[in-house]
Structure 1
Amino acid sequence: MEAKLDSVDRKILSELTHNARIPVAELARKVGLSKTPVALRIRHLEDIGLITGYRAILSPLKLGLTHVTYVEVNMTDTRENALQQFNTAVRAIPEIEECYMIAGGCDYLLKVRSRDMGDFRRILAEKISVLPHISNTSSRVSMEAVVEQNFSLGQG
């Protein structure tokens, strides 16, 4: 069910996506309300599941993870049990930053972060290629991140 958001809720969400550690008093000032109504709105947005948590966003580059590869995965078996086995196994690989089930030319698309091509080759051989029910993979190396960001509502 889609949440109904007014302009104040949108402003609160926009501010929190840019800085989740903003003090409630400062957030209240920015959205034009007092602290209590802002705190209540935040609690409501959490309660309805629109805000699902708060976390530190780490810099992959500062961690030495400068190499991004997208891996297309084709499966030997796409019955529900096989997909669930794959899903469970892929979640256990920390180098896989994102994994999507895809409709089209492949079954899954993985975003893999590594230090360099040698590190990626090891991850592919030792962790990805041994995942259950994989028939083959195809890799695409990213040359540059043009847009890479956390989801936000934007303006409006």
Structure 2
Amino acid sequence: MSLEKLDKRDRQILNLLQDNGRLSNAELAERVNLSPSACLRRVKQLEDSGLVAGYHMHLDMKACGMSGAAFVFVTLDGQGRDSLARFERAIKDINEIQDCYLLAGQYDYLLRVIYRNAADLERIHHDILTNLPGVVRVNSTLTLRAVKHTGKLTV
């Protein structure tokens, strides 16, 4: 199912669930003016179509003891398929690296890294980032505060 084939109710369902993934089926059905069984059927079809990538809980970074985030630009010693694959495999299980994007341009990757304090950031930089396969340079930019953070897509 593609976005072009969605009707108004499907779009409402997707937008409401992006705002609050914990809405009960009964409440969701009422908001989109459907019976609970018809609403549940539509949600199941949307999930099965691949439009819904999953459901998750968003934790507050500071409440979890993480005082900061840094965006880290990474340059590798080569851009061959094997070099990229080694780097990507190595970062998969590093919890401090929250996001990783392959870039086109001056840098090879952009990482979003979270840390507890300055000493923790230094540990991550020295012990983790600079020791990843193929890394020749890291350039970090520290955030002061998040002004907007959303994963919501308007459908």
Fold-level similarity (TM above 0.5): yes
Q: What residue number does 2:129 align with?
A: 128
Post-superposition shift, 1:49? 0.7
Q: What residue number does 1:20 align with?
A: 21
Q: Distance in 2 between matches of 1:70 and 1:90?
A: 15
Matches within 5 A, 1:23-42: 23-42=24-43
What is the one-letter code of the residue matched to 1:38? C
What is the one-letter code of the residue matched to 1:24? N
CA-atom RMSD, angstroms? 1.3
What is the one-letter code of the residue matched to 1:85? R
| Unaligned 5+ runs, structure 2 | none
What is the one-letter code of the residue matched to 2:56? R
Q: Could you report, residue by residue, the CA deviation over 1:78-137 in whole angstroms, capped at 9, with x for unpaired residues?
A: 110110110111111101111100111100000001112211110111111111011111
Q: What residue number does 1:112 align with?
A: 113
Instruction: State the identity as a percent.
Output: 35
Q: Distance in 1 between matches of 2:124 and 2:2?
A: 39
Post-superposition shift, 1:150? 2.6
Q: Distance in 2 between matches of 1:16 and 1:111?
A: 26
Secondary structure of the structure 1 residue equivalent to 2:63: coil
Equivalent residue pairs, number: 154
Q: Distance in 1 between matches of 2:62 and 2:15?
A: 25
What is the one-letter code of the residue matched to 2:136? S
Flag as ranges the 4+ runs of structure 1 deviating above 3 A. none
Matches within 5 A, 1:60-139: 60-139=61-140
Q: What residue number does 1:11 align with?
A: 12
Q: Distance in 1 between matches of 2:69 and 2:105?
A: 22
Q: Distance in 1 between matches of 2:98 and 2:27?
A: 33
Secondary structure of the structure 2 residue equivalent to 1:129: helix
What is the one-letter code of the residue matched to 2:21? A
Post-superposition shift, 1:64? 1.4
What is the one-letter code of the residue matched to 2:55? Y
Q: Distance in 2 between matches of 1:84 and 1:6?
A: 40
Q: TM-score, normalised by structure 2?
A: 0.94
